[in-house]
């Protein structure tokens, strides 16, 4: 069974305090590892796709990395507008999501 586990469940940061979110997944049959951002009451917004171990993608203050069993979303010098729930998903026949990390960035 496809599984995706995200940690921590919730994270509170001060503005400018960098941190990382973790996503671990079942490897068999993987077709891509995806990161999304979701704001309350909205559909998830696509951020990154990673396919191979060692791959990295960056966008503004976010950088996603992939190893053989895990992916990390690094947030550098976050701002309050980065507050959201960050979801990772495992690609394959289905798109299986983790439970998300709820990030709150405070002034």
Rg of the chain in Å (alpha carbons):
13
Stretch that binds another protein, among 14-22, 40-48, 52-60, 72-80 (CB under 8 A): 40-48
Q: Which of residues 42-61 bind another protein (CB under 8 A)?
A: 42-46, 49, 51
Q: Could you give phi then psi for residue 82, rounded to 5 degrees?
A: -85, -5
DSSP alpha helices (H): ranges in 1-107?
Answer: none
Residue 86 binds another protein (CB under 8 A):
no
Residue 26 binds another protein (CB under 8 A):
no
Q: Which of 38, 25, 53 is nearest to 87 (CA)?
A: 38
CB of 65 to another protein, least distance (A): 17
Q: By CB under 8 A, how many residues form the interface with another protein?
A: 25
> Whole-angstrom Cα distance, residue 58 to residue 34?
13
CB of 52 to another protein, least distance (A): 12
Cα 38-84-32 angle, rounded to 5 deg:
50
Which residues contact another protein (rule: CB under 8 A)?
31-32, 34, 36, 41-46, 49, 51, 87, 89, 91-100, 102
């Amino acid at each position: 069974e496809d599984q995706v586990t995200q940690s921590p469940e919730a994270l509170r940061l001060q503005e400018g305090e960098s941190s990382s979110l973790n996503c671990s997944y079942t490897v068999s049959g993987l077709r891509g590892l995806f990161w999304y951002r979701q704001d309350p009451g909205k559909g998830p917004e696509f951020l990154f796709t990673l396919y191979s171990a060692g791959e990295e993608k960056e966008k503004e203050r976010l950088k996603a990395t992939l190893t053989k069993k895990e992916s990390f979303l690094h947030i550098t010098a976050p701002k309050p507008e980065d507050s959201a729930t960050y979801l990772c998903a495992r690609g394959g026949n289905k798109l299986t999501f983790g439970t998300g990390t709820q990030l709150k960035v405070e002034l």
